[in-house]
Amino acid sequence: RTVYLNGDYIEESEAKVSIFDRGFLFADAIYEVTAVVDGKLIDFPGHMERLTRSLGEINLEVPFDQASLLEIHRQVVARNNLREGLIYLQISRGSTGDRDFNFPLEPVAPTLVLFTQEKALIENPVAERGQKVILVEDWRWLRRDIKTVQLLYPAMAKSLARDKGADDAWMVENGQITEGCSNNAYIVTADGTLVTRALSNSILAGITRQTVLQCAAELQVKVEERAFSAEEIRQAREAFSTSASGFVNPVVQVDGFAVGDGKPGPVARRLREIYIKNSLATAID
Applying CB under 6 A, does 133 fall inside the site for ligand PMP?
no
Task: Please identify which residue in 21, 173, 179, 238 interacts with ligand PMP, judged by CB under 6 A.
Answer: 179
**Closest-CA residue to 180 (of 224, 141, 131):** 131
Classify burial at 67, counting beta carbons within 10 Å of its beta carbon; exposed 0-12, middle 13-18, buried 19 or more: exposed
Round the CA-based radius of gyration of the chain to a whole number and report it.
19
User: Which lies closer to ligand PMP via its Cβ, residue 92 or residue 243?
Assistant: 243
Nearest by Cα to 31 from 13, 48, 46: 48
Q: Is 40 assigned a catalytic role?
A: no
The only residue of 243, 249, 253, 279 in contact with ligand PMP, by rule CB under 6 A = 243
For ligand PMP, which residue of 204, 268, 271, 274 counts as binding (CB under 6 A)?
Answer: 204
Determine if 244 is a binding residue for ligand PMP (CB under 6 A). yes
* Integer angstrom CA distances of residue 8 from 14, 68, 79: 10, 13, 12
Let me know: does 280 contact 38? Beta carbons within 8 Å.
yes
Does position 183 bind ligand PMP by CB under 6 A? yes
Q: Which stretch binds ligand PMP (CB under 6 A): 5-13, 18-26, 229-237, 242-250?
A: 242-250
Distance CA 133, CA 170 (A): 7
Catalytic site residue from 147, 222, 263, 277: 147
| CB-CB contact of 26 with 104 (8 Å) | no
Query: Do β-strands 247-254 and 238-243 pair in parallel, antiparallel, or remain unpaired?
Result: antiparallel
The span from the CA of 35 to the CA of 33, in Å, is: 7
Is position 36 an interface residue for ligand PMP (rule: CB under 6 A)?
Answer: no
CB nearer to ligand PMP: give 80 or 241: 241
Region binding ligand PMP by CB under 6 A among candidate stretches 4-12, 101-109, 187-195, 240-248: 240-248
Residue 207 found at the interface with ligand PMP (CB under 6 A): yes
Q: Rule CB under 6 A: say whether 168 interacts with ligand PMP.
A: no
Total of residues contacting ligand PMP (CB under 6 A): 13
Q: Looking at the annotation, which residues are catalytic?
A: 147
Residues interacting with ligand PMP, by CB under 6 A? 33, 179, 182-184, 204, 206-209, 242-244
